[in-house]
Every structure is written in C-alpha cells, then in structure tokens.
C-alpha cells in the first residue's frame, strides 16, 4: 500500500501495518455526508420491509406491542419534511458545541489557550501528558458533552506545544471521554439514570427492590484506575509511534494570537485567572447558596439533586472561556474593543461549518431510526437471545457485554438501549442469582467499547473535524484506525474485569449485594 506524502503538514509516517490498511480502506469510503445519505436510504427501505412483514416486539414494561413503522408512510414522510428544521436544531450535541465554541473562540483568538499551554508545558513533563489527559477525560463524564469541545482541542494543542503529535493528544482525550465511558471515578447523573432504569426492571421480580446511585461505583472506579496505565501504554507505544514524528512548526490547528506589542502576557494570565475564579464562584453560589439554588433539583433524591448543575456546565464553560479570554486579551493587547471579541466569535463559528453540514444529515439519520422503532425492537429481540444460552454466570454477563457492544455500533444512546433491554435481561439474570447492579455494570462496559470507532456516534463527526485541523487528509478510516487500539484494549480490560468480578461474586458498589437471592428459594 502506497502512503501519501504528508510532509507538508509536518506529519511523517512509520512503516505501514494492519492499522494503515484499515485507514487506507476507510478513507476510500465516501464522504461522511454521503455515508449518512446511504444509511438513510437503507434505513427507509428496511423500515418499509419490517413494517410490511409485521415485525414487532412486546415492551416488557407495559406489555404493549412495539411495531416497526415504515418511514415511507404518509405520516413519517410528512414528519420528515415538516419537522426538518426542528430535527436539525434539536440535535443535542449541536447546541452544546455552538455554545461552548462561542466562549472558546474568545479564549483561542485572544491567545489565552496558547499562553496557558506554553506556561503549563514548562512544568509538566511531556512523558506524563497521556495519563494526565486521560484522567481528566475520566473526570469529565459528568460534564455531559462539553468535554468534547473543550478537552480534545486543548489536548491536541498541548501535544503540539511539546513537539509531540497532536493527533495522539486527540486520541488519548477521546479515549478518556468516550472510550472509557463505563469508568466513573466520581458518580454522577449517568449513574442515577442507568440504575434508575435498572430498578424499574428489577421490581418486576422483586417489587421492593431498591438501588442507590452508588451501586456501580466500586466497579466503575476500579475500571477507571486500571484503564489509566492501559491507555497510557496504548497511546505512547502503539498509537503515537504509528503517527510518526511531528514537525509541524508554525502549524497549531488554528490561528494562534501572540501578545500584541506593549501587551503584558503575565498580567493577562493573572487577569484570566481572576475572571475564571469569578465565574466559578458564581456557579458555586447558584448551587450552594441555601436561599437561592436554581442549579439544584430539590424534588430529586441523592446525587440526582445536582443534575441541573451538571447540565449547566455547558453554559459554564462558555462563560468561563469567554470571560477569561476577554480578561487576558485586554492585558495582552489582543483585544482592544468589544468588536474584537465579536470578530473572534465569528471566526470561531466559521471553523464549525464542516461540522454543521455533517450534523444536518446525522441528526436526520438518528431521528429516522427512532421513528422507525427498529432500535427498541432490535434491543428486545437481541436480549431475548440470552435466555436461550445455558452458560455460567460469568459467561452470561460477558455475552450481555458483547451484545451491548454490538448494538453500540448502530444505536448511540446508552439509556435508550438499556430502557429496552433492562426489562428482559435484569429479571432474567436475577432468576439465576445475578444482582441487578452487576447486570448494569456488564451492560455499561459493553456500551462503551465501540463508542470511539463507530461513525454513527453523535460526537464522532466533531472529533473528525477537530482532527482535520491538524491533518487535512484525515478521514473516517484515519479516525477509526487511530482509535481502534483503544477500543481493543478497553474491551479486553472490561471483559477480564467482568469475568473476575462475577467469578469472585464481588459487590459492584456500596449497598449493592454480591449476588441476588430469589425470594422463596
């Protein structure tokens, strides 16, 4: 296979291997927009065939039949055309990206990000970049999707400033945020959501069964600790060497603004720190002030009370970056009037144009898939297959993990899949002695393995666009090849940990039973 010359971008490549063949093949696929158009056409045809064949499944939650719907029906075709603007603008990651980008473009355009990276790299040894960024990615799981538009660009810039390949920075950040999504060092709203779904399913067998939001914490925290050295090894020994030597002098993935003549960079950084402290104090007050707590849900119980605070972090990051960037720019001389700030925001949004085009088609594919009802039907029927397997408990949980991983290639929403699967697999495994918490942990592990290599993931397109800022010819195959070693490593680690955990009958969290005793047995 003949590799193209990338010396113009400062990118040299090692001898081609099996990942290069995957990249070569993947990059010869059509443009992502064309792929989504093809998938939409296939989905429409399959939905029509499934509806004509009467394909359906029974929802275990309420006993109602879920029937496949043809996307070519009068109702769905009208919905597609009438709701097209709402489908596009209602795509959740789109709003998050645009909001955070408004603030981040000020911090970037003023030169704050570059100044911070330059200052930080004086104290951090380049050798420890990978584990540090991966750990930050793990801790960002409660920040919703904001980490994609914050940590990933900063990780690439940090690597470039150290003379290392920026794509390796993107890889380790993406792996920590999405590839290790089953690992939670700090429990948050996702634990509340998943274990809440599990509790409803468990009560089909045991109406009095209750779960707490920390029911998976011991497992998810152990997984996170194990994955830090694993990801570090994969990034530094497999991914980065394959990328070759980075020599992109003057190429930083975007416009870098130095301090203007007469500007004071050191004072700018101090001012940025004070501005950031004010924003952080404001959000802390909105969450902790007993007299006024708009960021606390007083009707919820436990960690779920903090759900509004977690959801507000998208706006928080935008304000944090915007205020800090403005404060820095005023002292550094890169911002003189408010018009400079507006121009920076405009330039920042201009860089998202390729992402906006792709999101239009991705949003419609995801919406159409939901309208067709094929997702929950596939999940229910797939989970039912587990009832036909006469396997040891550890093997049964691994089978659930693999089933979850397989569905992850086509269905992005973890909660949507679990809502459909839990009423089948949770009661079924309870009857053979598996605790609902252990079943949830196995499902979550499988759901995170392929997040970083499937183009249907909601943030895959964003990561692809961010990568193309550093290498213009970076395509779908390039991103899949870049992240596949992480998927393999995370998958093998998760398989091993689930097997050991189930074999030793360990509880997955505080208050979670090691096994389930069926009443009356």
Check residue 223 and give its pLDDT.
95
205 Cβ contact list (under 8 Å, min separation 6): 427, 430, 431, 518
pLDDT tier for residue 83 given thresholds of 50, 70 and 90: very high
253: left (phi over 0), alpha (psi -120 to 50) or beta: left
Determine the Cα–Cα distance for residues 95 and 293; give it in Å rounded to an integer. Answer: 24
Distance from chain centroid for Cα 180: 9
| Residue 225 pLDDT exceeds 90 | yes
Determine the Cα–Cα distance for residues 53 and 258; give it in Å rounded to an integer. Answer: 64
Determine the Cα–Cα distance for residues 395 and 391; give it in Å rounded to an integer. Answer: 6
CA atoms within 13 A on the CB side of 143: 22
**Least confident span in 55-64, 74-83, 132-141, 222-231:** 55-64
28 neighbors 477 (Cβ within 8 angstroms): yes
Residue 232, Cβ neighbours under 10 Å: how many? 20
CA angle 431, 436, 437 (to 5 degrees): 150
Top mean pLDDT of 226-235, 256-265, 374-383, 495-504 is at 226-235
Check residue 106 and give its pLDDT.
92
Determine the Cα–Cα distance for residues 140 and 181; give it in Å rounded to an integer. Answer: 10
> Taking residues 266-286, what's their average pLDDT?
93
> Taking residues 332-356, what's their average pLDDT?
89
pLDDT tier for residue 4 given thresholds of 50, 70 and 90: very low
Q: Which of 278, 279, 309, 280 is nearest to 293 (CA)?
A: 309
- Of 385 and 220, the one with more pLDDT: 220
> Taking residues 154-163, what's their average pLDDT?
87
Per-residue pLDDT of 186-224, as tens digits, reads: 877 678 778 888 887 888 778 888 887 788 999 999 999
Check residue 237 and give its pLDDT.
94
Residue 280, Cβ neighbours under 10 Å: how many? 13
| Residue 144 pLDDT exceeds 80 | no
**Least confident span in 70-84, 209-223, 305-319:** 305-319
Check residue 500 and give its pLDDT.
92
Q: Write the DSSP string, 346-398.
A: HHHHHTTHHHHHHHHHHHHHHHHHHHHTHHHHHHHHHHHGGGG----HHHHHH
Determine the Cα–Cα distance for residues 35 and 99; give it in Å rounded to an integer. Answer: 27
In this structure, which long-range contacts are made by residues 204-210, counting pairs with CB atoms below 8 Å and at least 24 apart in sequence? 204/60, 204/423, 204/426, 204/427, 205/427, 205/430, 205/431, 205/518, 206/430, 206/519, 209/436
pTM (2 d.p.): 0.71
Return the HEC string of 49-76.
HHHHCCCEEECCCCCCEEECCCCCCHHH
| Residue 374 pLDDT exceeds 90 | no
pLDDT tier for residue 3 given thresholds of 50, 70 and 90: very low
> Taking residues 169-185, what's their average pLDDT?
91
Percentage of the chain surpassing pLDDT 90? 34
440: left (phi over 0), alpha (psi -120 to 50) or beta: alpha
């Amino acid at each position: 296979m003949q590799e193209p010359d990338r010396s113009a971008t400062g990118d040299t490549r090692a001898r081609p291997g099996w990942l290069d063949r995957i990249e070569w093949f993947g990059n010869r696929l059509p443009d992502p927009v064309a792929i989504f158009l093809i998938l939409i056409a296939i989905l429409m045809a399959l939905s029509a065939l499934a509806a004509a064949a009467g394909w359906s499944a029974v929802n275990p939650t309420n006993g109602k039949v879920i029937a496949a719907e043809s996307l070519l029906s009068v109702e769905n075709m009208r919905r597609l055309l009438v709701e097209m603007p709402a489908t596009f603008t209602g795509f959740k990651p789109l709003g998050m990206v645009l909001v955070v980008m408004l603030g981040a473009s000020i911090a970037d355009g003023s030169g704050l990000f570059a100044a911070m990276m330059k200052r930080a790299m004086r104290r951090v040894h380049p050798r420890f970049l990978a584990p540090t960024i991966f750990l930050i990615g793990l801790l960002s799981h409660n920040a919703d999707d904001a980490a994609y538009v914050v940590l990933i660009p900063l990780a690439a810039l940090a690597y470039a400033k150290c003379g290392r390949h920026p794509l390796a920075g993107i890889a380790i950040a993406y792996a920590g945020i999405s590839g290790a999504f089953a690992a939670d060092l700090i429990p948050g709203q996702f634990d509340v959501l998943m274990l809440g779904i599990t509790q409803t399913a468990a009560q089909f067998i045991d109406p009095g069964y209750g779960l707490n939001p920390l029911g998976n914490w011991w497992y998810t925290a152990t997984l996170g600790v194990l994955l830090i050295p694993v990801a570090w090894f994969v990034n530094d020994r497999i991914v980065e060497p394959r990328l070759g030597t980075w020599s992109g002098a003057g190429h930083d993935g975007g416009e870098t603004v130095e301090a203007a003549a007469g500007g004071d960079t050191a004072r700018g950084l101090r001012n940025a720190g004070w501005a950031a402290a004010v924003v952080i104090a404001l959000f802390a007050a909105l969450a902790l002030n007993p007299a006024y707590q708009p960021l606390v849900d007083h009707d919820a119980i436990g960690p779920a009370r903090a759900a509004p605070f977690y959801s507000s972090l998208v706006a928080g990051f935008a304000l944090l970056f915007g205020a800090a960037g403005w404060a820095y720019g005023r002292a550094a001389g890169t911002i003189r009037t408010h018009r400079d700030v507006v121009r920076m925001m405009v330039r920042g949004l201009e860089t998202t144009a390729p992402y906006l085009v792709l999101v239009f088609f991705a949003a419609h594919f995801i919406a159409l898939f939901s309208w067709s009802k094929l997702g929950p039907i596939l999940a229910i029927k797939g989970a039912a297959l587990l009832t036909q397997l006469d396997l040891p408990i550890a093997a049964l949980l691994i089978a659930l993990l693999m089933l979850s991983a397989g569905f992850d290639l086509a269905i992005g929403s973890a909660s949507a899949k679990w809502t459909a699967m839990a009423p089948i697999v949770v009661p079924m495994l309870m009857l053979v002695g598996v605790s609902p918490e252990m079943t949830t942990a196995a499902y979550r592990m499988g759901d995170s393995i392929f997040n970083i290599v499937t183009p249907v993931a909601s943030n895959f397109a964003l990561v692809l666009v961010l990568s193309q800022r550093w290498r213009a010819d970076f395509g779908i195959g390039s991103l899949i090849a870049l992240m596949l070693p992480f998927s393999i490593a995370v998958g093998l680690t998760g398989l091993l940990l689930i097997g050991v955990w189930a074999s030793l009958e360990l509880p997955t969290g505080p208050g979670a039973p090691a096994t389930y005793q069926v009443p009356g047995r």
